[in-house]
Chain A
Amino acid sequence: MASPATSTGSPPKRRRADVRALVAVACFLGATGAFGADPKLLPPEQAFRFSARALDDRTVEARFAVEDGYYLYRDKLKFAVEPMVVAMAPPDLPAGKVKEDPFFGRVETYRGDVVVRLPLAKAVAGQSIVLAADSQGCADQGVCYPVNRQQVTLVVPAAGKGPGPVVEAHPRKKSWFN
């Protein structure tokens, strides 16, 4: 068989590698439907990203970062802490945007960042506590998610030591491209 032409200046092995790279990219785009007209819906743990930090031995700060195009129902937000001995008083939930629902009447929704301060009782510095949050929301595209539970484990800081680190329930994975 004749040897491959070299007039392009590109060695055949390199050219084959180029084609393979093209195939890989095309397959990747094909598999993900990256050019699709509909934006993909996020799974609830990404649409409603939950994180928390212990501010001191009496208070936990819980946060939902709600993605653009999604919203949470205020009255569906529920928090629980383990162990039970670290009792938690009912939190003061921030006011949401009021909407009149034909079936449920007045409902309040949250968009953007939602921050809730949860008062703890009988927490001990250095103690690990698990904070579980139930939330329920929808996407503007016209779908709703069932109640979703997310949880984080926090260590109660000693008095006067300042707040503990922010702990995310589902830390973002590093992208391949940056």
Chain B
Amino acid sequence: MATTLIRGIGIAAVALGALGAGLYFGMRDQATSPEPAAAAAINGLALPDADGKERRIDEWRGKVVVVNFWATWCAPCREEMPEFMKAQKEFGPKGLQFVGIAVDQADKVKQYAAEIGLNYPTLVGGFGAMELSKTLGNTLMALPFTVVLDRKGAVAHTQLGVLKPDKLDAIVKQLL
């Protein structure tokens, strides 16, 4: 009987644990922890910038890199960009680097970047870039999607939807 009871308690504990995990992950950002291979893929990602010059994400290794997938047709993306520009200005000297990846046409990206005076580089990616974001947890391939890399290039945070300023501050300050 004791064995049965212990087994029962054990099973119940596992069940509660599973439920707890569900609660935790359910309330967390929808994006889940990416595989190391996906982290390697984003670090090695090479895309042209709005002027056609090829850039690689790992050229900013050693800094805290915030990779933001966005598009001009995505209103929530455009809403959060002024906050990113403020953070770039404030924390850039301490080693923070924002890099945009626009799922868009280069001419529109260039026009928009000029219009808002974007103070960080933005690369131009197509469907391949969206596929990459999927491996990092953006299973719906929706925008905006943001990946924060620490100074060693490891994925510290992923976020589907707008990354609010207070949350961004907390994440970045911990990594800088």
Contacts and interface: CB of A to CB of B under 8 A. Distances in A.
Partners in one complex: yes
A143 B12 contact: no
Nearest to A148: B141
A128 interface: no
Interface string A70-113: 00010010000000000000000000000001111000000000
Nearest to A99: B75
Interface in B13-54: 14-23, 25-27, 30
Contacts of A37: 26-27
B120 interface: no
Contacts of A139: 142
B148 interface: no
A164 to B, nearest CB: 32
Interface stretch (A28-36, A114-122, A170-178): A28-36
B78 to A, nearest CB: 7
A40 B115 CA distance: 34
A19 B26 CA distance: 24
Contact of B74 (A27, A35, A138): A138
Nearest to A33: B26
B176 interface: no
Contact of A31 (B18, B30, B112, B162): B18
Interface in B66-115: 71-79, 103, 112, 115
B140 A41 contact: yes
B32 to A, nearest CB: 11
B6 interface: no
A146 B1 CA distance: 58
B22 A29 contact: yes
B79 to A, nearest CB: 8
Interface in B55-72: 71-72
A159 interface: no
A36 B161 contact: no
A3 B144 CA distance: 60
Contacts of B130: 146
A68 interface: no
B8 interface: yes
B174 interface: no
B11 A146 contact: no
26 contacts: A23-B11, A26-B15, A27-B18, A29-B22, A30-B17, A30-B18, A33-B27, A36-B22, A38-B27, A38-B30, A40-B30, A41-B30, A41-B160, A73-B73, A102-B78, A103-B78, A138-B74, A142-B79, A142-B162, A143-B76, A143-B142, A144-B77, A145-B140, A145-B142, A146-B71, A146-B130
Interface of B: 1, 3-4, 8, 11-12, 14-23, 25-27, 30, 71-79, 103, 112, 115, 127, 130, 140-144, 160-162
Interface of A: 1-5, 12, 15-16, 19-20, 22-23, 26-27, 29-38, 40-41, 43-44, 73, 76, 101-104, 136, 138-139, 141-146
